[in-house]
């Protein structure tokens, strides 16, 4: 049994209120024993002064590429989980586009066993919709579900055959599984490397038109309506794509969707110097898309924020822009970058961030949220809004450093993370796993 922990003088963020409430938080036996101002310290308690800091329910990311098995030079389950913890994330859902893909019950079991033995935060896995992610025939969805897969997706690729996706939606409906869709019309994307538009023409880089994503979103949601299935649209990047989702939601289709921080923070103009850290799929669109996606997030059209954390080696990202792989890391920078760009500027509040990056991701997968409330699980972080985080190689715990924030400073810092009633990250003391 660990000693009680008392956090004194902090302000508490919650999904259901815009204001931060000043209160102390007492943690005992892995649970939150009390939340109130002026709490006395129990005998033997460790008292932590968190005056001026914010206590926030820990984040949860439903779109993470961990690369293991197959590409452990990019990321492992262990390193990815450490990166998550470094960014205030205490639960992650791994995508199945590994080498080999996670398309059977045996592969799900293998990954879950690795996570149990090596991860520093809980890691769940998704399974493929089709065998080998080839889009031709259904994978062992029931077996993977039985072994613990909590979502099914061919992420990185669409299910191009509409009949296969319809059958998958109908089949998954029988046991309440979630299918997630990477929406892309491959014939339109071609060899494109960035958003098709003014900037791609100026730079002479082949473009990916936004309609490549939008046509597939419309198709997949039409199939979900016919199949009466449940579908989740991943990494929406265009305003028109968002509006298509709005229409289907209003029509009663069971659809949820996510937006990634990079599609809120960056646009195709940031690629002016061919920096491959800005190359991702779907690509960065326009400043107008940024603004409209942000409004969609604020009004509640987007159910969750998810990073699409996609690590690549330095060697791969140092190639020519057209040849470099798509993807950036995000687990370690999502929370601080969203605070730096949006919360500090009063574009939205802590309540929205907690709802969309902590509570709703957990609900999406059928898990309970972790509010900082009496009797609840002690799973929260201590955030210093006045500190500065320099995102460099000494800060990062991911094996890959392909982030646009590399060697930049962001306002705000995840100082401590509590999970199961214990401090598992303690930055002021220099203890980062």
- Which residues are designated catalytic? 308
Residues in CB range of 232: below 8 A, 6 or more apart = 151, 153, 178, 179, 180, 181, 255, 256, 257, 258, 364
**DSSP reduced 3-state for 39:** coil
Give the 3-state secondary structure of 312-337: CCHHHHCCCCCCCCCCCCCCCCHHHH
Largest CA distance in the chain: 68
**DSSP reduced 3-state for 26:** strand
Judge whether 178 and 168 are in contact, CB under 8 Å.
no
DSSP string, 196-226: SSHHHHHHT--EE-HHHHHHHHHHHHHHHHH
Judge whether 93 and 62 are in contact, CB under 8 Å.
yes
Judge whether 62 and 48 are in contact, CB under 8 Å.
no
Total count of residues recorded for the chain? 433
Spatial separation of the C-alpha atoms in residues 66 and 83, rounded to whole Å = 10
Judge whether 392 and 407 are in contact, CB under 8 Å.
yes
DSSP 359: I
Burial (CB count <10 Å: 0-12, 13-18, 19+), residue 399: buried
Compute CA 261 distance to the chain's CA centroid, rounded to the nearest angstrom: 9
Judge whether 147 and 108 are in contact, CB under 8 Å.
yes
Burial (CB count <10 Å: 0-12, 13-18, 19+), residue 321: middle
Burial (CB count <10 Å: 0-12, 13-18, 19+), residue 386: exposed
Residues in CB range of 384: below 8 A, 6 or more apart = 52, 53, 54, 412, 413, 415
Spatial separation of the C-alpha atoms in residues 433 and 79, rounded to whole Å = 9
First to last CA, the chain: 22
- Radius of gyration of the chain measured on its C-alpha atoms: 21
């Amino acid at each position: 049994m660990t000693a009680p922990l008392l956090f004194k003088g902090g302000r508490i963020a919650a999904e259901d209120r815009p204001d931060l409430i000043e209160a102390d938080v007492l943690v005992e036996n892995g649970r939150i024993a009390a939340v109130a101002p002026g709490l006395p310290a129990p005998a033997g308690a460790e008292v932590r002064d968190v005056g001026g800091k914010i206590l926030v329910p820990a984040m949860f990311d439903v779109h993470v590429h961990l690369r293991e098995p197959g590409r452990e030079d990019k990321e492992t389950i262990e390193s990815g989980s450490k990166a998550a913890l470094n960014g205030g994330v205490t639960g992650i859902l791994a995508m199945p586009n590994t080498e080999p893909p996670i398309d059977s019950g045996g592969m799900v079991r293998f990954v879950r066993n690795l996570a149990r033995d090596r991860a520093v935060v809980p890691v769940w896995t998704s399974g493929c919709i089709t065998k080998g992610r080839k889009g031709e025939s259904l994978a062992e969805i029931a077996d993977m579900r039985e072994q613990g897969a909590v979502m099914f997706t061919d992420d990185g690729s669409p299910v191009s055959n509409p009949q296969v996706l319809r059958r998958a939606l109908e089949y998954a409906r029988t046991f309440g599984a979630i299918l997630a869709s990477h929406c892309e019309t491959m014939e339109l994307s071609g060899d494109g490397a960035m958003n098709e538009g003014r900037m791609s023409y100026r730079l002479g880089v082949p473009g990916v038109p936004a309609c490549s994503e939008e046509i597939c979103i419309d198709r997949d949601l039409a199939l979900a309506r016919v199949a009466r299935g449940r579908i989740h649209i991943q990494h929406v990047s265009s305003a028109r794509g968002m509006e298509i989702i709005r229409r289907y939601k209003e029509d009663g289709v069971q659809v949820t969707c996510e937006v990634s921080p990079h599609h809120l923070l960056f646009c195709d103009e940031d690629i002016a110097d061919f920096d491959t850290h800005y190359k991702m799929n779907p690509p960065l669109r326009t400043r107008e898309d940024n603004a409209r996606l942000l409004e969609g997030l604020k009004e509640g059209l987007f159910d969750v924020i998810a990073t699409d954390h996609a690590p690549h080696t330095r060697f791969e990202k140092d190639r020519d822009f057209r040849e470099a792989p798509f993807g950036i890391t995000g687990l370690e920078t999502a929370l601080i970058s969203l605070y730096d760009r949006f919360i500090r500027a009063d574009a939205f509040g802590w309540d929205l961030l907690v709802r969309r990056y902590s509570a709703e991701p957990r609900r999406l997968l059928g898990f309970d949220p972790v509010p900082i409330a009496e009797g609840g699980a002690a799973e929260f972080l201590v955030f210093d809004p006045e500190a500065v985080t320099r995102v460099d190689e000494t800060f990062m715990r991911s094996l890959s450093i392909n982030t646009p924030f590399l060697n930049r400073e962001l306002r705000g810092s995840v100082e401590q993370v509590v999970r199961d009633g214990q401090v598992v990250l303690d930055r002021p003391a220099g203890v980062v796993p």
